[in-house]
Structure 1
Amino acid sequence: MNQFSHDTIAAIATPIGIGGISVIRISGSESFTIVNSVFKGTTNLIDAASHTIHYGNIMDPDGVSIIDTVLVSVFHNPNSYTGEDIIEISSHGGYFVTQKILSLLHSGGARPAKPGEFTQRAFLNGKLDLTQAEAVADIIHSRTEKSHKASVMQLSGRLSKHVNIIRDQLLNLCSLLELELDFSQEGIELTTKDDVLKRLASIEREIKKLADSYSSGKFVREGVRVALIGKPNAGKSSLLNILLGEERAIVSEIAGTTRDVIEESIILNGLEFVFFDTAGLRESYDTIEQEGIRRTLNSLKQADIALFIIDSSFGFSQGDVLMFKQITESAGSQIPFLICVNKTDIKDKEFSLLDLGIVHSVEISCKLNLGIEKLKKNLLELSIPNHDSNSSSIVITNIRHKEALISALKSLQKAKETITNGLGGDFAAIDLRDALNYLGEIIGLTTPDDILNHIFGKFCIGK
């Protein structure tokens, strides 16, 4: 099938609603014919040059009534976003106008586009690889400077080029092992066991470095989830309000005021932090409060960092020790804990946290707004340790990429064991081919259709 023989699709590419302009996009071999049938201007769109804009009116089928005055942008295949013939109609914003124009295009033969179908066609026609296609969605959904920069870097093709370099190294080694098999009867040795293991170790280091970058990359893309935990009235809600710069959580002298998990986010140094102000932890016979405490412990399992708030006016009691052990056990993972010693303006007891093995702590006063900047600095250091905000190193932000890299590493490990145990290079080549396939999944060379449909199905309609 010719790559441009798809049926023609149309969709509104901008948010639906009242606004200055809206854009209706149509892609496919019949795009020019369909739009030309409802467009009246000084230019016949079928004869229009590519990458040109034309002023005119979208007409009602009666040929007399004007629906809207528009600008029509024309793009010929293959030099377009999808690689097909594309027209983008810029109309006035609004509900009726855009839906009416879209309805005319559908009546003329265009099919309603599925979510992400324009970008999927761009991928299938070789305009983008899979990581670049995913970057398009990430740019649309980016909420911070860091997530935007990471998405733009991925869209530029840097990740794809890096993966292809690793694949080329792996392919050369795999081909060498397979070629050596052809000369095995002649006793010709094209490489040595030590050389193969050395080259495998080098490739393994590159893949592992890329996979490990996800530990910071996921925070760039998804934000850092922080749980605020402590006894009732320790100052969790007060701290959240200070961080937000507004009163979002209820602040009261009555212990147990916060009975649900309140979720809010802020941006620190271009990174999003999502805070959970949770119910205070204590023995309670209040059914509603007990449910809040249960949700608090559950939120820990979803957190990337836990802030444990201590009321320094009471010191670090044995109850605090037991509670700290309870929440660290409940976390079920190695998430870092940062101890916030609050109310230092009225602290009358000195105590040490080192006995509990607590390294990360900061003294604050929500009442006097003291220590907050140091707290923010500690949060940044815990979320992306040793991360240079100006670094140009490649970071993966997508869990799909990490899983493929981990699978590739497992295949490389099998190949190393095969070589070490003295088995033939042809057996090791099988594992290397598996690793190649996993790396190919990242950029879309060997990605199954169901995964492709899942990826593009998460896009918005019109993109």
Structure 2
Amino acid sequence: MYNEDTIAALSTPYGTGGIGVIRISGKNAFDAASKIFQSSKTIEKIKSHTVTYGKIVNPELNEIVDEVLLLKMCKPNTFTREDVIEIHCHGGIVVINRVLDLIFKNGVRPAEPGEFTKRAFLNGRIDLSQAEAIIDLINSKTVESSKAAVNHLEGRLSSRLKSIRETLVGLLAHIEVTVDYPEHDIEEITGEKVLENLINIKDELYTLAETFHRGKILREGINIVIAGKPNVGKSSLLNQLAGSTKAIVTDIPGTTRDIVEEYININGIPAKITDTAGIRNTQDVVEKIGVNKAYEAVENADLIIVVLSAETGIQEEDTEILKIIMNKKALVLINKTDMVDTTRLNEIHQKLKEYNIVLEASVINGRGIEELESTISELFLKGRISGNDEVLLTNSRHKYLVDRAIEDVEQALNSFNTGMPLDLVTIDIKNCADNIGQITGESIDEAIMHDIFSRFCIGK
């Protein structure tokens, strides 16, 4: 799983920018850099973890390629626990490619996606769940999702899982002693210890598994679709939630003919919000395509916001849309409430008694938006956002393995309670420890590890 090649890659986004950072890692990193870097000091004499000004030079042509800052870091105090060089050059595409070409001509190969992080894992600097947290941190879309990723990166999930695994390994050792030395007659004491610990582990794993719903939302976000007949204020609602003009708003029905998407932050929840074409019967070929797309978006939504107009009341087209959402996660927003009196609003509410969540708004004036956002966060997180010290399961792979570990513990408890010998109970205990170990990387096969790191960008 590990090779000793020296690797290099651009660690900043590829394209034109002020600075480009090229990272080299491996036993030949210093030697490769010394062949192309010129300064008042040689690479050998530069102190570890210091920055030195110099020039990158093409040794074949004795030509200056760029003026750079070079950071030298000696192992093991580096991200990969290998010797590392970082070259901070100017961020032009041509300059970056020329510097990389010179590096690759000097015993260094291009890094694979996630290979720097993979080496940090293989060299014992981080475990597998921490490695996965790095890509979550890079991809986080809100402050709260980044906090959850940082918690994992700091090892809080790992620490909790390792504690459980150590308890399981300790139980296996106690059982082995009991089986190997039956003359000491300690099976009853060992059995009580096994039962107590398995019950505690089951409770702890259940508590962890229950955090997945909120953790997954913080990591992946929710898909919200705004639906309704034409000219009820759907595009205005999208613009209010996005905080900018993303959709064209007019008084002409049928203005929105295609799907308009925007990524936003709703009280710490990352959300993709979709404005759809007004749902109605139409002979316009283009608009009809938009209506079909609207139906498709509604089917795939995590939450549907049906917008009604207080001005027109509930019409036949509204009724058809309301039927569609009857068994889905949805809320109804009565818009344009500034244009009608209380009596008219009460009549509309009376017709919506069978719907659990009905809100009022005047979207054009921004009224009701805060209540809508609070309702959405309450729906998906029950009003709770992850605290700094809370450990959340955010990864589907982790949730699957925790669920399997729970099944193993339950099977072990069942075996124990039916009077099976302790040495047979160890089979399920070992399986539980193995499943937990697959989360942290203490027991993992190469194919799964390759799949995990292949999702990383090159340079990380």
Specify the SS of the correspondent of 2:44.
helix
Which residue type is aligned with residue 87 of structure 1?
Answer: I
- Say whether residues 1:373 and 2:366 are aligned partners: no
**2-structure distance, mates of 1:212, 1:354:** 37
**1-structure distance, mates of 2:214, 2:445:** 28
Within the candidate set 37, 42, 45, 2:43 is matched to 45
Which residue type is aligned with residue 336 of structure 2?
Answer: K
CA separation of 1:176 and 1:20: change in aligned 2, threshold 3 A: same
* Offset of residue 114 of structure 1: 0.8
Q: Which residue of 2 aligns with 1:346?
A: 339
Q: CA contact under 8 A between 2:157 and 2:391: conserved in structure 1?
A: yes
Deviation sequence 1:405-456 (CA, Å, 0-9, x none): 1121122222222223332233322112111111111111112212211211
* TM-score, normalised relative to structure 1: 0.90
CA separation of 1:294 and 1:214: change in aligned 2, threshold 3 A: farther
Which residue type is aligned with residue 334 of structure 2?
Answer: V
Q: Which runs of 5+ in 1 are unaligned?
A: none
**1-structure distance, mates of 2:227, 2:304:** 7
Which residue type is aligned with residue 107 of structure 1?
Answer: K
Q: CA contact under 8 A between 2:174 and 2:190: conserved in structure 1?
A: no
* Offset of residue 193 of structure 1: 5.9
Q: Which stretch of structure 1 is more off in the superposition, 281-290 or 376-385? A: 281-290
Which residue type is aligned with residue 445 of structure 2?
Answer: P
**1-structure distance, mates of 2:131, 2:17:** 27
Q: Which residue of 1 aligns with 2:301?
A: 303
**1-structure distance, mates of 2:451, 2:184:** 50
* Offset of residue 179 of structure 1: 3.6
Deviation sequence 1:374-433 (CA, Å, 0-9, x none): 112212222211414545211122222111111211222222222233322333221121
Q: Which residue of 2 aligns with 1:150?
A: 148
**1-structure distance, mates of 2:355, 2:17:** 53
Within the candidate set 440, 443, 446, 1:443 is matched to 440
Q: Which residue of 2 aligns with 1:458?
A: 455
Q: CA contact under 8 A between 2:80 and 2:123: conserved in structure 1?
A: yes
Q: CA contact under 8 A between 2:38 and 2:55: conserved in structure 1?
A: yes
* Offset of residue 116 of structure 1: 0.9
Deviation sequence 1:87-141 (CA, Å, 0-9, x none): 1111122112211111011111100111111111111101111121122222222
Deviation sequence 1:140-191 (CA, Å, 0-9, x none): 2223211222222211111111111121223333433444333457754244
CA separation of 1:184 and 1:295: change in aligned 2, threshold 3 A: farther
Percent of paired sites with the same residue:
39
CA separation of 1:230 and 1:183: change in aligned 2, threshold 3 A: farther
**2-structure distance, mates of 1:259, 1:81:** 50
Within the candidate set 157, 162, 173, 1:164 is matched to 162
Q: Which residue of 1 aligns with 2:211?
A: 213
Deviation sequence 1:318-339 (CA, Å, 0-9, x none): 764553232344x4xxxx3222
CA root-mean-square deviation: 2.5
Within the candidate set 1, 4, 10, 2:8 is matched to 10
CA separation of 1:75 and 1:375: change in aligned 2, threshold 3 A: same
Q: CA contact under 8 A between 1:59 and 1:66: conserved in structure 2?
A: yes
Q: CA contact under 8 A between 2:15 and 2:91: conserved in structure 1?
A: yes
Within the candidate set 393, 397, 400, 2:390 is matched to 393
Q: CA contact under 8 A between 1:10 and 1:25: conserved in structure 2?
A: yes
Q: CA contact under 8 A between 2:304 and 2:325: conserved in structure 1?
A: no
Q: CA contact under 8 A between 2:233 and 2:307: conserved in structure 1?
A: yes
Within the candidate set 322, 325, 337, 2:330 is matched to 337
**2-structure distance, mates of 1:434, 1:93:** 50
Q: Which residue of 2 aligns with 1:278?
A: 276
* Offset of residue 77 of structure 1: 1.7
CA separation of 1:316 and 1:429: change in aligned 2, threshold 3 A: farther
CA separation of 1:21 and 1:388: change in aligned 2, threshold 3 A: closer
Q: Which stretch of structure 1 is more off in the superposition, 313-322 or 10-19? A: 313-322
Within the candidate set 82, 107, 110, 1:109 is matched to 107
* TM-score, normalised relative to structure 2: 0.91
Q: Which residue of 2 aligns with 1:34?
A: 32
* Offset of residue 36 of structure 1: 0.6
Q: CA contact under 8 A between 1:314 and 1:349: conserved in structure 2?
A: no
Q: Which residue of 2 aligns with 1:92?
A: 90
Specify the SS of the correspondent of 1:57.
strand
Specify the SS of the correspondent of 1:234.
coil
Q: CA contact under 8 A between 1:80 and 1:86: conserved in structure 2?
A: yes
**2-structure distance, mates of 1:179, 1:259:** 73
CA separation of 1:84 and 1:368: change in aligned 2, threshold 3 A: closer
Q: Which residue of 2 aligns with 1:326?
A: 324
Q: Which runs of 5+ in 2 are unaligned?
A: none
CA separation of 1:405 and 1:39: change in aligned 2, threshold 3 A: same
Aligned residues: 456
Q: CA contact under 8 A between 1:180 and 1:190: conserved in structure 2?
A: no
* Offset of residue 305 of structure 1: 2.1
Q: CA contact under 8 A between 1:180 and 1:188: conserved in structure 2?
A: yes
* Offset of residue 355 of structure 1: 6.6
Which residue type is aligned with residue 220 of structure 1?
Answer: L
Q: Which residue of 1 aligns with 2:426?
A: 429
**2-structure distance, mates of 1:69, 1:255:** 59
Specify the SS of the correspondent of 1:370.
coil
Q: Which residue of 1 aligns with 2:403?
A: 406
**1-structure distance, mates of 2:319, 2:173:** 60
Q: CA contact under 8 A between 1:256 and 1:289: conserved in structure 2?
A: yes
Which residue type is aligned with residue 368 of structure 2?
Answer: G
Which residue type is aligned with residue 366 of structure 2?
Answer: N
CA separation of 1:345 and 1:50: change in aligned 2, threshold 3 A: same
Q: Which stretch of structure 1 is more off in the superposition, 19-28 or 136-145? A: 136-145
**2-structure distance, mates of 1:431, 1:184:** 22
* Offset of residue 284 of structure 1: 4.6
Which residue type is aligned with residue 251 of structure 1?
Answer: V
Q: CA contact under 8 A between 1:176 and 1:190: conserved in structure 2?
A: no
Q: CA contact under 8 A between 1:279 and 1:289: conserved in structure 2?
A: yes
